[in-house]
Every structure is written in C-alpha cells, then in structure tokens.
A and B are shown apart, each in its own frame.
Chain A
Amino acid sequence: MKVLVCFKVTPDYEALRPADWERVAAGSDETKFVHRVLNVFDESALELALRLRDAVRQAAAGAGRAAESGVAYGDVRLRALTIGGHDADPFLQTLLALGYDAVARVPANGALDFAPQLTASVIAAYARRTESDLLLLGDRSGPGDSGLVPFLVAESLGWSCLSGVTELRASAEGALRLTWAAGEGQQRATLRGSAVLAVGNAVVSCLRVPTLTDRLKTRGLGIDLVQLEDLGVHQQDVVASSGLAGLEVVDRRRAGVILDGRPPATLARTLLDDYLAPLLETS
C-alpha cells in the first residue's frame, strides 16, 4: 500500500501579538518573523501513518508471513508531500530520518495559501503520479482554514473522503482499521479501497523524534522538488486563482468590566448576584 501524507508548515500564529495582526491585515508579512510549526492535524496524520506502518509490519511478522505475501495491504510505503517554501525543508529532513520512503516539496511561497482548488489539483496530480493508494492529511490548515482540500482532492481522484479520522490501526490480518467521526458518534471500520482520510482531533498528536544516527543515515537522501508546472498548474492559474480581496482585524471587545478591590471570594458573590442570577432569572 502506498500512502501519501500531505502536510503544511505554518508560522506559529500564537506567537504574534495584536499589533502584529493589524500589520498582517494591512498587507505586511509579519508572520515571517515567527518560527514555523507543523499544522497540528497534519502532525497527527504523519505520526498515525508511521504507527500504521509499524502495526502492519508487526501484524505480518506476528502471523509469520512475509510482508509481501497474502496480507491484506502488504507493506506500507510512506511518502510525504508539502507545498511551501524552503522553511519546510527541516521538517522534510526529519521525515526522511523517521523512515518516510520519500519526501517532496512543491515550491510555492504562499501563492497557494488561499487557493484550495489549486492546492487540491497539485496534491491529486502528485498522488496520481506516485500511484498512491491512500492519502492522509489534516482536516484543515492555516492560513485559509477552509477544510476544503481533502474533499477537493477526493473529487479529483474519484475517491471517497472520510473526515474526522482520529485513529489508524492494523487488524491482525493487516487490514486498515480506522476510527472516524461518523454522524452522531465515532465508528471504527475497515477501509476497503482507496480514500482520502482527513485527520481531526486525534489523541496521537506528537510526531516521534529521529536520532542523530537516523539523520546521518538519511542526510544524503534528497528532497524531491517538484515544480507546479510539472503537476499541471501554471503561473496563469495561480494568478487567476488569487481571490483574496482583503483582510480585516476582528473586534471582539465587550464591556470588559474588571471586578477588583476585594478578595476573589467576595468578587464571586458580586458575580453571582449582579450578573449571573439576573440573567438566568429572565427565562
């Protein structure tokens, strides 16, 4: 089974201050001053893929069968893809050191940030090119937070998309068991074909860490740089897709009355008497 995991590296938005956001809204790229982090949902996807491979190999070994023989999904080959700039390279090197069989980056410095259709075209084209059977990615990522990309990719590939995936396991036979948010509750089911799996709030949220030895062994392995044009996306498409017409800061301020001057216990009483009780009595 060839698994493609897509991930995004973004600035750590929490490290910016209100004044910085005003500058971003005005068009200045303040986010370039902050360190980069893996999108949290993508990070879960990357780690879940590694755990899936470990589990499938263990299942195959445990059953005394070679990975290639008769086991439902055979061995799991992992490939990672990101669309972005040079600042994603340290993360790609880490994935190589963790045993991803190949990693690739489509150079694009923010041009596709608010273009989910093009992002999906790129991912789908790469998935086809690499003959991937399964696609994993976080169910949304910044800055656009559209949540559209998994579905657009699935549409492009003619696959189903399951979103809100929180867990991936291998059954004893090496089949893929996944847990996902299906309607009212969570379901666990066996995957029976190719699909796009969009990862949500998984308990597994941290990517494991490679040793220096692992890094040394894989340092020579390159990051595949794949150009947009090679995936069928041309500069005029990028220009035409830019639909962002403006950004604005959100004003969420309320009265902001601060109760003080007395110990918090006394203030709790004021809170109850003057604010909570009157509100709840009007029902």
Chain B
Amino acid sequence: MHMSREAIVEGLRRLLGAESVVTDEEVLKHASVDNFRKLEDIFGVYTRPLPAAVVMAGSTEEVVEVLRFADEHGINVVPRTGGTATEGGLETDEPNSVVLDGSRMNQIIDIDTYNMQATVQCGVPLQVLEDRVRELGMTTGHSPQSKPVAHLGGLVATRSIGQFSTLYGGIEDMVVGLEAVFAGGRVARIKNVPRRAAGPDIRHIVIGNEGALCFITEVTVKLFPYLPQNNRFLGYTLKSMKTGFEVLRQVMVNGYKPSVARLYDPGDAGLHFSHFAEPDDCVLAFMAEGAAGISAATAAGIEAIVGEFAECQPVEGKLIETWFNNLCWGPDDIAHENERIYQTKNVNRTTEISANWSRIYDIYENALRRIVTEIPDITMAGGHSSHSYINGTNMYFNYFYNVVDCPPEQEVDKYYLPIISIICEETLRGGGSIVHHHGLGKARVPWVKEEYGSSFFMLEALKQAFDPHGIMNKGTIFPSDVVK
C-alpha cells in the first residue's frame, strides 16, 4: 500500500511539525544522491527518484515516530547525517522515500576523561568532537579524509576507518556503546563496558549496517591521549610494489604499530609526491605516534626493517609531515574539486578492497592492467595501501577518467561501474574482500552474495529479523530478492 507524496508529507508534518519537514526542491535533489553520483550533483542533473521530504530529526523520540510511521505505511527511509558517503548508500531508490537526517542531533553529551570515553549524538561532526577533546589533551584517533564534514552517525553506520588506523584501529575498535532505533520504532541502547562475552557482540549488527537495519542516534567512542609532540615521520622511495608490500608486512608481523603505514604506487605517488619522487617511484610513508618511548621505538624498528631492503631510499621526514598536514578535505576543497571537474570533465574515483599478504599484489596488478586496457579515456590509474594488519592489507585504487561524449548522468554506467566490476571480479578471484571501508552502498551490491558465499544466509537473516517490511534504505547492502 503506497501513500501519496502529499499524504506522506502531511503525516510527517503532523508528527514532527512543519519546521522539521523540508520539501524545498533543491534540497530534495541534493538529498537524493551522494558522492557516487556526484557528477549529477555538479551538473545539476538528477536521475534518482525525488524523496517526498527530508526530515530533520531533533531527538531519538522523533526518529522513533518517523520509523514507526514509515514501517506502518511501507515508506522507504534513507538515514543520513554528514552526507559524505561514496557508494550510493544514500541514494533514494524508491519514489517518495523519506530521507531521515540526523544532523540536527549535534550535541556532545559527555566527555569522560577518566574512563576515556566520549558520548555524542549522531549529528556531531567528527572534526567538532576531535577539536573539543584536543582541548583536553585527547584525541579520538579517528581521522578519515572526510573528517571535517562527516558526522559520527554515518561514520559508525559505514564501518569507516581513518588515517591512523594502524595504531588506533577502525571505528569498530573505537565504538564502546551506542543507541539505535530499528524499523517499527524499537530503541536499543547498548551500554558502555570495556568488553563482554555475554553472547555474540550485537554492536556489530549496528556498526556497518549502512542504514539498512536501523538508525544510529547516539555513539560512545574511546578517547586516547593526544601527544603530537612525539610524532615521527619516515619516508622512502623504491621501485617495486612487491618490495613495498613486503616492507609493510614485516612491520606488522614484527609487532610495530605506526599510526600511518602507506605504500603508494607510481601513478598515485605522482599525485602527491612529484616534488621528491621520480615518475617510476613507489613511496612508503610512515608516522609513529604515542608516548615518547613507543614512538621512538616504533620509528627505530621501522627504520631497521626498511634498512634491510637496499632499494629503499630514505627521504626527509619533513616532506611526509608537510604532505600529511594537508591531507584532509574540507568543504572548500570539495568545492574547488567540483569546479575542476565542471571545467575539465575529468573525474576522480576510488575503490578500496582488502586481501591477505600473499594475494594483494596479484589482485592489484591484475585489476590495474584490466582497467587500463579495458576502460576508455583513463587519465590516471594507480593505488595505495593505507591500512595494514598482521595478516594482510587494503588496496585503495585511485583513478581518473575524462568523461567523453557522455552526458553526466551516464558517466556511472559508461566508466565507474565497469571499473568497479573489474576490481570486484579480480578481488573475489584473489580471495579478497570487495570492500575495505567505504561500505557496500548500492554500488557493490551485485557482488554481495559472492562476497559472503555460504555465510550469506546469516546476513539475510538480519534483514528479515530487523526490517521485515523492508523499509530501511532499500537497495543498500541487500539485493532486492532478499527483501520481502
């Protein structure tokens, strides 16, 4: 039973008041896409069904009202906060969806420097929380490139990871407790304890659900001491990616936890390091942080490991430090990049995957070779590893293409999805995971069953249990045949 657009808007207004229900067409257009279809946004062409409204929730109670209403009437709800998602997870797949926006829930509820925990509402920008705790000598340790713009709700919903993850972990290592609202309006509060073994860890149903199971309203994250005075930066140039991966592996296997450990291939290095790297150079970049003794030992350990590989040439640490200080993208950088895209029709895209040490190089090489030979108008193709573990690492493919003889709304079909296909195919063939940290969104859903194999029924069961009427972010994570 489908409600009309007007009836949906009227219903929402009665629940929350007209002030919280936005129906301005420009806002609706912008809310129907995320960075996956950023070209549409830049050129003002919108092909996703317009939502009926953007609802600005002010409290958990209001979220409950909206989800209950939506569940009752079969209305598709797309949860949203900072809007920096890249995989289509925020697209409105259904006509007259409701975009449920949590950015007004922007209170920092508590900062507990004794228990080293901070509790915030879902609409708090990470930068705001980070700046606040830094005043107290602390850090969240979480620094994705979207930090200036992304909010905590979305960062938890997508299982995000930041630049310092090799030391602090991903968001899943940082979340303590949380509160989420499920379809039908049930509220779950998960308390803040350091660890428990009282059954499976249910936080992992929420972390990474990408709005397909619930709406996150509150998050508690760990805090760490902020000791930037002990930061150390190391950089090396080398010719071989294979060597580079081996260096990273040795660093991890020997127990070192630099906050940053990155390996750039020549194509990607050319974008960042051309002022000191040759066109055929790979670049290794490390940052060690923490207590003085730890930071010094980490840096020394890395230097010793790299020293075993004669082809690695050291570069001045200040080069890496300066580069690192300019890495995050604020709204003005985004706007500048959008203008560049508008003028040049040259688009930058990324796709990130993960695999064990023994498979990652082949996946990287095979995928890149296929991209360069099978896809037209490529202007740059390369990648870097930025998140390492004892048993493997990620590969962040970075590529640019000119959009030629193609209207903006067809760019995704002509270029982006074919490249994603190549990367997913090669990754699955190599036994890796098709998505390291950006989330499945809607873009990589075609490969989700192959990604999970025989374990897919477990994922399926979550959807059937928590969203039986299929109102939560249709098209995200779960293929349409999973939803009743």
* Partner-B contacts on A (CB < 8 A): 11-12, 15-17, 32-36, 87, 90, 93, 204-213
The B267-281 residues at the A interface (CB cut-off 8 A) are 270, 272-275, 279
Whether the pair A33, B402 counts as a contact (CB closer than 8 A) is no
In the complex, besides A35-B275, A93-B279, A209-B346, 4 extra interface pairs with C-beta distance below 8 angstroms are: A15-B322, A35-B272, A208-B402, A210-B379
Does B344 sit within 8 A of A, measured CB to CB? yes
**CA A11 – CA B402 in complex, angstroms?**
27
Q: Are A34 and B322 in contact (CB under 8 A)?
A: yes
Query: Which B residues are CB-close (under 8 A) to A33?
Result: 316, 318-319, 321-322
B343, B377, B379, most chain A CB atoms within 10 A:
B379
Q: How large is the interface on B (under 10, 10 to 19, 20 to 34, 35 or more residues)?
A: 20 to 34
Interchain CA distance A90-B273 in the complex, whole Å: 11
Most B C-beta atoms less than 10 A away, residue of A17, A34, A205: A34
Q: Considering only CB atoms, which chain A residue lies closest to B316 in the complex?
A: A33
CB distance from B43 to the nearest CB of A (A): 15
B114 interface residue (CB < 8 Å to A): no
Q: How many contacts between A and B, using CB within 8 angstroms?
A: 59
B339:A206 contact, CB within 8 angstroms: yes
Query: Can you list 5 pairs linking A and B with CB atoms under 8 Å apart?
Result: A15-B325, A90-B274, A206-B343, A209-B346, A210-B379
Roughly how many angstroms separate A34 CA and B274 CA in the complex, as a whole number? 10
Q: Which of B318, B322, B343, B372 is within 8 Å of A212, CB to CB?
A: B372
Q: Which residues of A contact B273 (CB under 8 A)?
A: 35
Q: Are B270 and A90 in contact (CB under 8 A)?
A: yes
Assembled-state Cα–Cα distance A149/B378 (Å): 37
B381 on the A face (CB < 8 A): yes
Given A35-B323, A207-B344, answer yes or no on A212-B274 (Cβ-Cβ < 8 Å): no
B329 CB within 8 Å of chain A:
no
Q: Assuming the A-B contacts A15-B326, A34-B322, A204-B343, are A209 and B274 also in contact, with contact meaning beta carbons closer than 8 angstroms in the complex?
A: no
Q: Report the bound CA distance from A138 to B249 in whole Å.
A: 48
Name the distance in Å between B323's Cβ and chain A's nearest Cβ: 7
Q: Which of B274, B318, B322, B400 has the most CB of A within 10 A?
A: B322
Instruction: Give B279 Cβ to nearest chain A Cβ, in Å.
Output: 7
Q: Tell me, in angstroms, the Cα distance from A32 to B339 when the chains sit together.
A: 28
Query: Is there an interface contact between A211 and B316, defined as CB atoms closer than 8 Å?
Result: no
Q: Which of B270, B274, B316, B400 has the most CB of A within 10 A?
A: B274
A209: B residues at CB distance < 8 A: 344, 346, 379-380, 400, 402
Chain A residues in 8 Å Cβ range of B340: 206
Cα–Cα distance between A34 and B343 once the two chains are bound (Å): 26
Q: With A204-B343, A212-B372, A212-B380 as given contacts, are A35 and B400 in contact (CB-CB < 8 Å)? A: no
In contact, B319 and A90 (Cβ under 8 angstroms)? no
A17 CB contacts on chain B under 8 angstroms: 325
Q: Which residues of A contact B380 (CB under 8 A)?
A: 209, 212
Complex alpha-carbon distance, A207 and B343, angstroms: 9
Write out the residue numbers on chain B whose beta carbons fall within 8 Å of the beta carbon of A204.
343
Which residues, 361 to 416 on B, are CB-close (under 8 Å) to A?
A: 372, 377-381, 400-402
Report whether B377 and A211 are in contact in the complex, using a CB–CB cutoff of 8 Å. Answer: yes
B402 contacts across to A, CB distance below 8 A: 208-209, 211
Contact A211 B378 (CB under 8 A): yes
By the criterion CB–CB under 8 Å, are B279 and A90 in contact? yes
Return B381 CB to nearest CB of chain A, in Å: 7
Nearest-neighbor residue (CB-CB) of B272 within chain A: A35
Give bound CA distance, A93 to B346, whole Å.
18
Q: Is the CB of B275 within 8 A of A87?
A: yes
**Contact partners of B321 in chain A: CB under 8 A:** 33
Q: Taking CB as reference atom, which chain B residue is nearest A34?
A: B322
**Which chain A residue has the least Cβ–Cβ distance from B377?**
A211
Q: List the A residue with the shortest CB-CB distance to B378.
A: A212
CA distance A211 to B403 in the complex (A): 11
| Contact between A36 and B379, CB atoms less than 8 A apart | no
